[in-house]
Structure 1
Amino acid sequence: MRVLVCDPISQKGIDVLTSAGDVAVDVKLKLTEDQIVEIIAEYDAVVVRSETKITKRIIEAADRLKAIGRAGVGVDNIDVEAATRKGIVVVNAPEGNTIAAAELTVAHILAIARNVGSANLSLKGGKWDRSKYTGIELKGKTLGILGLGKIGSEVAKRARAFDMTVIAYDPYASVEKAKSLGVTVTDLETVFRQSDFITVHMPKTKDTYRMISAAQFAIMKEGVRIVNCARGGIIDEQALYDAIQSGKVAAAGLDVFEKEPCTDSPLFALDQVTATPHLGASTKEAQVNVAIDVAYDILRVLRGEAVSAAVNIPAVKQEMMTIFKPYLNLVEKMGSYLGQTIGNRIEKVAITFKGDVAKYDVTPLTTTLLKNLLKYALEESVNYVNAPHVAKARGIQVIEAKTSDAQDYAVQICVVVETDQGKRQVSGTLLRNKPRFVSIDGYDMDMAPEGHMLVVPHTDKPRIIGQLGTIIGEHNVNIAGMHLGRKDFGGNAVAILTIDGPVPAAVLTDLAKIDGVADVKYVNLG
């Protein structure tokens, strides 16, 4: 078997591959797309970092390719959809940089506490200005962590060693796990109001994009300090600039930016900002770790074994894929819908398989649902292989049940998610092998879960639906369909509107102001 390495990776990763005995490794760097297309048919696997792009054209030319490995976390430079269609497993190394990212976060916290960056520049500029750069101690201060995943947890351990009080916001965090770290899990507003330092460890999603902006800075303590070593765009950079200028924010440590590479920002002109060029994973140890991790998974794919960090292929035997494909599509939609509409901490997920589907091993379906449910709120990569382990690590109880009775359907899958604020539910079936939602939060429905949707729980009373349509129309958003559910006249109800494209934030804001509307969620099911 032959493996092509297109970007520089640690020799220890290459050694893992060659030590297998039946694997030859060719290291060919800085190849163009055309050059890779010419030779890719000779290889069983290819390994890249961030420089080389594995495009659809390359994948289509890869007659014997079984695996694509990314020695790092992101897979933006790999056409995962094209690889999936061709049955090629895409693997990455989501855990190799955990310590590196956590330590850089602590470095930024210390730097902005003691004004290290600006004092360094001042001294090198010929000034000895000790009083100007008087800092603060970490001991006794409150650190607010947004996202208590692997990196956030490691930051918490180190903050506790500095005798800091640590609080965290994470909708999916286990209270028991947080307690074991000495962390108090609380709501987002409390973190903003009580923290002396705030550090971000969440993924960039439609829900977290600019989640820290002017309104959030307004409720923070005077002199709060902010660190972001996660993803650019979670903090509104203009709002941060304004908050520093006003004195609300005393200092900020930034490793990531909304647009990268970023070499020219108004923030760079501020002495209160310490900035690094996305160095979170840039340690010698991390580069060794990701190379070794991806090398071992490449070998597992080539040997037909279960992999630890696949990002695209569920564990279904090839002969079962034809039967399972419609079911997989259904639970993907159910998990994505719930993941985008649940804003609270998940405590339990109960999945009941009814009818014909109950006679199969449904483990891949449960895993697929968990993967799509959890991926919207977690900082770490959640995939078909690690989703059950991620849920367990977060203290989420997963219950799987089967019954031959599917009521009025040949197949029905019902998911109930319990959070710290109550329960959410969705049930689905197949109609001509296409997914259908037949119940949402106890309301009878009959809808195809696809595309862009607005989910609007409300009080069942006149004029609400008309106002929804009017406001949406005023924003030039076209409504493709509407589904209504209620139990009792004048009681609680839900409206689900399918629309022709993404929804501006202003639409959600205006809809939420309608008297009787309890909530508004935008959901994209692709």
Structure 2
Amino acid sequence: MYRVLICDPLSEEGIRPLLDAEDVEAIADPSLSHEELLEAVKSVQAIIVRSQTQVTREVIEHAENLQVIGRAGVGVDNIDLDAATEHGVVVVNAPDGNTISTAEHTMAMLMSLARNIPQAYHQLQQKRWERKKFVGVELKGKTLGVVGFGRIGREVAQRAKGQRMKVIAYDPFLNQEKADKAGVDHGTLQEVLQQADFLTVHTPLMEETKHLIDREAIQLMKPGARILNCARGGIVDEDALYQAIQSGKIAGAALDVFEEEPATEHPLLSLTEVVATPHLGASTVEAQENVATDVSYDVLEHLRGGTVRNPVNMPSVSSEMMEQLSPYFKLSERLGAFLSRVVEGTLERVSVYYSGELTDVDTTPLTRIAIKGILRRHIGQRVNDVNAFKTASDKGIVINEQKSTSTKGFTNLLTVEIETDQEKRSIAGTLLNGLGARIVQLDQYSIDVVPDGNLILIHHKDQPGAIGRVGSLLSEHNMNIATMQVGRTNQGGDAVMVLTVDKEVESECQDRLGEITDINKVQCLTL
């Protein structure tokens, strides 16, 4: 008999698969104190939570029989994934259950924003009948800009088309062919901002997307445009939005999420042009039932020895294989992360090549980690070692893995190649005895770089004085150079320079580097 502890309130119909299972004892207790939780987990094989209960390392270490943790929802911030993986505990979530609810809520907010519905109702409650004050705009013929074209973004786009809106979308993984299939226009972020009458964001919140819609982005938008955020607080710079509405640049906003919640005292709520709800995107009977059902089935499947649909943490591998592969984990992820930050265009294909000692082992876990390193630039922590392949497949990215006997003089060599709709780039790395991970080739250039810290990649002409001019400018900006590597194919031709510096490079410094004679491109990244 499997014992499953349900720590947070969940839909009874959603956990019906557990309640009806003859081999499961489901224990629902959402009122456990921390001390009671530590005692309760000792005898269970599974824990299911929403966002309230914190499944910390301490909880996992007390759960001596624990096999699986289920999160009825998407985010797993309240679960210590490292501790779960170390203890061999699988974590599953329910990423699809609230898609429809969030898309529908976005459309409700869109219409409310266009027609001033909450404001007008509030006036009626004050016994005021003010029709002229709340003249709205039609959706027909307007352009909806969608930033983030995943599951929810696509659902919103389809509903907007039903309102006879024009839809233009931006997503790092969206190209013209995929846009054509979805029946929407494809544009760069700048093009979406410039064309949108209404702008809605549906991206994860991470370093790349925090304040994605900031003052500069808002300045690109049409005067009188409107902004919606039913995704994650922090994607829209709330101070910039407040100032833009006050100045009249932005006609209004609809917000379901805020950077800090609850947000009952937020300045934006004082503006009559703002429509807001208290994070209700997934708050429907159906969504709550769906996420509970999805996670219940996955928990059952794992307990019974099956394959789960939505795993979050690393799959288990044999100790022998782990011993062989683990030294390459960092190298694999860093190669993918590096290349993803310098390649341009929409990802279409990723190839990972192994040679030398790596041809004798199952390298699938390394390929997963490389794909994770590539995708995390755009998706963040939601992509992991387990779901990397599925996430890539969902984005239409083809994955290839090949092995070769050619080592180019190295005992082992791992090469990652990315093809986009604009270019093909590659990077290769190895482990040097006693020195750890090294990047040894970038495209056609031989280099020797530690894939760590703050890096500057410079494409330039191999001319006298280039290195000196770079060093002098970095000195002006108080940037200390830790290492410098130069690679070239022939004297006086194209070359690359890779520097590691002691702190992140500011945009002004990067722009000035790009203005130096004989320098073609400057890219800065942090690994």
The structural deviation recorded for 1:52 is 0.9
Q: Distance in 2 between matches of 1:80 and 1:290?
A: 20
Change over 3 Å in CA distance of 1:318–1:9 after alignment to 2 = farther
Question: Structure 1 stretch 515-524 or stretch 81-90: which is displaced more?
Answer: 515-524
2:448 equivalent in structure 1: 446
Contact kept, 8 Å, 2:352 with 2:402, in 1: the verdict is: yes
Whether 1:307 aligns to 2:308 is: yes
Change over 3 Å in CA distance of 1:458–1:103 after alignment to 2 = farther
1:370-519 correspondence to structure 2 within 5 Å: 370-378=371-379, 381-432=382-433, 434-460=436-462, 465=467, 479-489=481-491, 491-500=493-502, 503=504, 507-514=506-513, 515-516=515-516
Percent identical across equivalent pairs?
46
Task: Specify the SS of the correspondent of 1:12.
Answer: coil
1:272 equivalent in structure 2: 273
CA deviations over 1:379-407 (Å, ceiling 9, x no partner): 89333343323323322222222212222
2:322 equivalent in structure 1: 321
1:109-188 correspondence to structure 2 within 5 Å: 109-188=110-189
2:291 equivalent in structure 1: 290
CA deviations over 1:191-215 (Å, ceiling 9, x no partner): 1111111110112222222121222
Change over 3 Å in CA distance of 1:451–1:326 after alignment to 2 = same
CA deviations over 1:353-383 (Å, ceiling 9, x no partner): 2223223333333233223311321389333
Whether 1:212 aligns to 2:213 is: yes
Change over 3 Å in CA distance of 1:427–1:379 after alignment to 2 = closer
The structural deviation recorded for 1:181 is 1.4
The structural deviation recorded for 1:491 is 4.6
Change over 3 Å in CA distance of 1:455–1:100 after alignment to 2 = farther
Contact kept, 8 Å, 1:113 with 1:137, in 2: the verdict is: yes
Report the residue type matching 1:427 in the other structure.
Answer: A
TM-score (norm 1): 0.92
Task: Specify the SS of the correspondent of 1:112.
Answer: helix
Contact kept, 8 Å, 2:449 with 2:498, in 1: the verdict is: no
Q: Distance in 2 between matches of 1:314 and 1:477?
A: 41
Contact kept, 8 Å, 2:228 with 2:255, in 1: the verdict is: yes
1:350-361 correspondence to structure 2 within 5 Å: 350-361=351-362
Q: Distance in 1 between matches of 2:460 and 2:127?
A: 64
Q: Distance in 1 between matches of 2:380 and 2:136?
A: 31
Change over 3 Å in CA distance of 1:112–1:443 after alignment to 2 = same
Report the residue type matching 2:160 in the other structure.
Answer: A
1:37-52 correspondence to structure 2 within 5 Å: 37-52=38-53
Change over 3 Å in CA distance of 1:231–1:53 after alignment to 2 = same
The structural deviation recorded for 1:15 is 2.3
Q: Distance in 1 between matches of 2:260 and 2:474?
A: 30
Q: Distance in 1 between matches of 2:443 and 2:366?
A: 21
Q: Distance in 2 between matches of 1:67 and 1:482?
A: 46
Change over 3 Å in CA distance of 1:467–1:109 after alignment to 2 = farther
Task: Specify the SS of the correspondent of 1:391.
Answer: helix
Instruction: Report the RMSD for the aligned CA atoms in angstroms.
Output: 2.5
Task: Specify the SS of the correspondent of 1:53.
Answer: coil
Contact kept, 8 Å, 1:452 with 1:523, in 2: the verdict is: yes
The structural deviation recorded for 1:499 is 4.5
Change over 3 Å in CA distance of 1:429–1:305 after alignment to 2 = farther
Q: Distance in 1 between matches of 2:103 and 2:210?
A: 21
Runs (5+) with no aligned partner, structure 2: none
Question: Structure 1 stretch 486-495 or stretch 191-200: which is displaced more?
Answer: 486-495
Change over 3 Å in CA distance of 1:303–1:462 after alignment to 2 = farther
Report the residue type matching 2:508 in the other structure.
Answer: T
Change over 3 Å in CA distance of 1:303–1:332 after alignment to 2 = farther
CA deviations over 1:14-47 (Å, ceiling 9, x no partner): 3222434222222222323332223322121211
2:243 equivalent in structure 1: 242
1:262 equivalent in structure 2: 263
Task: Specify the SS of the correspondent of 1:108.
Answer: helix
Question: Structure 1 stretch 235-244 or stretch 340-349: which is displaced more?
Answer: 340-349
Contact kept, 8 Å, 1:90 with 1:312, in 2: the verdict is: yes
The structural deviation recorded for 1:281 is 1.4
Question: Structure 1 stretch 228-237 or stretch 396-405: which is displaced more?
Answer: 396-405
Whether 1:229 aligns to 2:230 is: yes
Task: Specify the SS of the correspondent of 1:450.
Answer: coil
Question: Structure 1 stretch 70-79 or stretch 261-270: which is displaced more?
Answer: 261-270
Q: Distance in 2 between matches of 1:340 and 1:306?
A: 33
Report the residue type matching 1:444 in the other structure.
Answer: S
2:192 equivalent in structure 1: 191
CA deviations over 1:61-91 (Å, ceiling 9, x no partner): 2222121211111111111112222222121
Question: Structure 1 stretch 459-468 or stretch 189-198: which is displaced more?
Answer: 459-468
Change over 3 Å in CA distance of 1:197–1:69 after alignment to 2 = same
Question: Structure 1 stretch 132-141 or stretch 336-345: which is displaced more?
Answer: 336-345
Report the residue type matching 2:198 in the other structure.
Answer: F
The structural deviation recorded for 1:294 is 1.3
Report the residue type matching 1:321 in the other structure.
Answer: M
Q: Distance in 2 between matches of 1:495 and 1:44?
A: 53
2:67 equivalent in structure 1: 66
The structural deviation recorded for 1:510 is 2.5
Task: Specify the SS of the correspondent of 2:428.
Answer: strand
Task: Specify the SS of the correspondent of 1:324.
Answer: helix
Change over 3 Å in CA distance of 1:412–1:379 after alignment to 2 = closer
Q: Distance in 1 between matches of 2:474 and 2:310?
A: 41
Change over 3 Å in CA distance of 1:352–1:166 after alignment to 2 = same
1:107 equivalent in structure 2: 108
The structural deviation recorded for 1:480 is 4.1
Task: Specify the SS of the correspondent of 1:406.
Answer: coil
1:34 equivalent in structure 2: 35
Contact kept, 8 Å, 1:149 with 1:380, in 2: the verdict is: no
CA deviations over 1:458-512 (Å, ceiling 9, x no partner): 55556665565566666666554444434345554444443456x37xx133222
